[in-house]
Structure 1
């Protein structure tokens, strides 16, 4: 009998997490025997909980809020994406040289945009909304996709400025509300405002008929942000469910060196998804 590979998602809360369902689908595709758990991390206990899981044979784990910074500290080796974002969402426990940490969020976003949605990022003019952990985790990978530039807007401008300074790339700049341009090619919402039914206070002219709008949250219907985009310009919209699946596929590849198919799973999850971050 083949021993199951022990994996988990660590965070607080994790009850809503789709990670076990997603990775069990990947396991069926590849023939991997998988034991994937949800583990709640009490405040201040991440290193203890992670260490306990590794000690009982955990080969790796995903990390959700609010523990991605703690996972960054735990990692002894880090990918460029993790280093740039200072956040880790995937740990490989048995990597040569020590515990390896990666952040697959940004690459998952780019894969969803360019492969699933077939939207362009290269040479496009991007506006990204927000400066929290979700946004910091994807900006470096967005830059690697070759946009013409990225404008970063956050209601508290000092936070956006700090994120830009950390990245140190001339293609990304922080912008005030009255400095935003008209008709961006791609607008990505990385704020959580939509979860409470709110839309960031934005000028309508940031959108044009050619614009594409992407909300990093997702739900069973159109998100609040995407509803605003549709009512403003009739542009194309998408939410973050595809990003969720694509970042998971990249995590699975880190653990098992296996490529998986994602499109049918995204469709299946879409049919059963309720609103969440």
Structure 2
């Protein structure tokens, strides 16, 4: 079972943190501790609660204390982006960062590993279906920050086409236009827009729910014709039980997944950025799933 250690100061050990508010729920320390244990690396990782409005001061204190890098979660991803001296293409597109690297020269490099983590998880699940992500197109539900954080990764993965559906049509079209600006063919529309409305390729469809609907127990209603072309349905949210979105699609018979794999794979990418080492994310994912179930059992 995964454990989350306390992290006393030890300058011989690489030190990383996750910054957020709230932060007590974060499983990142358990994930990264397991990564380090696999590779027998002397690494410590802790949660840091930053006060609202105090992100910059928190980062300054962490750098002074010898911390080498940080993951960043809500509500500070925009702050992390604004604080960086050097931005990865993914962070530049998303206008948000979830991974910071504190360089020896004092500069801060920022990345956004959310989209890359999603693509790694989609790729592993499509592989079981005999497919590759570059053979597919993506239908993304939602046009907010979570969706924006994935577009550059879709382009890098070779996705054929991106369709964005959102309650506010203007936001969907705006994100689609931004995708096309980086040479990812894209279109945007309302939630109930059928696939026949768009000039899209005949490639298999991967449906990704990037909206916050599952947090509220809601289910975004999209045109049923999308499910006739879909090969995989993915909800970025996760819980011990299937999300409301997944439950609503059980009758379709489509493979459905929650976003726990995305969490672990985006952490794997951050770990690689920091250390140059690549842990076995699937091994950690199995343990994290057990941890989620165990926590749910005692609540």
TM-score greater than 0.5 by the shorter chain: yes
TM-score (norm 2): 0.86
What residue in structure 1 maps to residue 219 of structure 2? 199
- CA displacement, residues 51-98 of structure 1 (integer Å, 9 cap, x when unaligned): 111111110000011111110111101111111111111001026682
CA–CA distance in structure 2, aligned partners of residues 230 and 95 of structure 1: 51
SS in structure 1 at match of 2:38: helix
The answer to whether the 8 A contact 1:209-1:235 is kept is: no
Cα drift, residue 117 of structure 1: 4.8
SS in structure 2 at match of 1:270: helix
Confirm or deny that 1:81 pairs with 2:90.
Answer: yes
CA–CA distance in structure 2, aligned partners of residues 104 and 14 of structure 1: 19
TM-score (norm 1): 0.92
Cα drift, residue 201 of structure 1: 2.2
Cα drift, residue 257 of structure 1: 0.7
What residue in structure 1 maps to residue 265 of structure 2? 246
Confirm or deny that 1:136 pairs with 2:136.
Answer: no
Cα drift, residue 259 of structure 1: 1.1
Q: Of 172, 176, 181, which residue of structure 1 is paired with 2:195?
A: 181
SS in structure 2 at match of 1:213: strand
Q: Of 276, 279, 296, which residue of structure 2 is paired with 1:257?
A: 276
Change (3 A) 1:45 1:242: same
Q: Of 132, 150, 158, which residue of structure 2 is paired with 1:146?
A: 158
Pairs within 5 Å for 1:1-277? 3-94=12-103, 98-118=107-127, 119-167=131-179, 168=181, 169=183, 171-181=185-195, 185-208=205-228, 211-231=231-251, 233-273=252-292
SS in structure 1 at match of 2:237: coil
Query: Any gaps of 5 or more consecutive residues in structure 2?
Result: 1-9, 197-201
CA–CA distance in structure 1, aligned partners of residues 11 and 50 of structure 2: 29
- CA displacement, residues 195-242 of structure 1 (integer Å, 9 cap, x when unaligned): 2211012222210275210001111121111111222x1101111111
The answer to whether the 8 A contact 1:14-1:40 is kept is: yes
Cα drift, residue 171 of structure 1: 0.5
Displaced runs of 4 or more, over 4 A = none
SS in structure 2 at match of 1:37: strand
Deviates more, 1:205-214 or 1:235-244: 205-214
Change (3 A) 1:179 1:203: closer
What residue in structure 1 maps to residue 6 of structure 2? none
CA–CA distance in structure 1, aligned partners of residues 153 and 221 of structure 2: 27
Deviates more, 1:94-103 or 1:30-39: 94-103
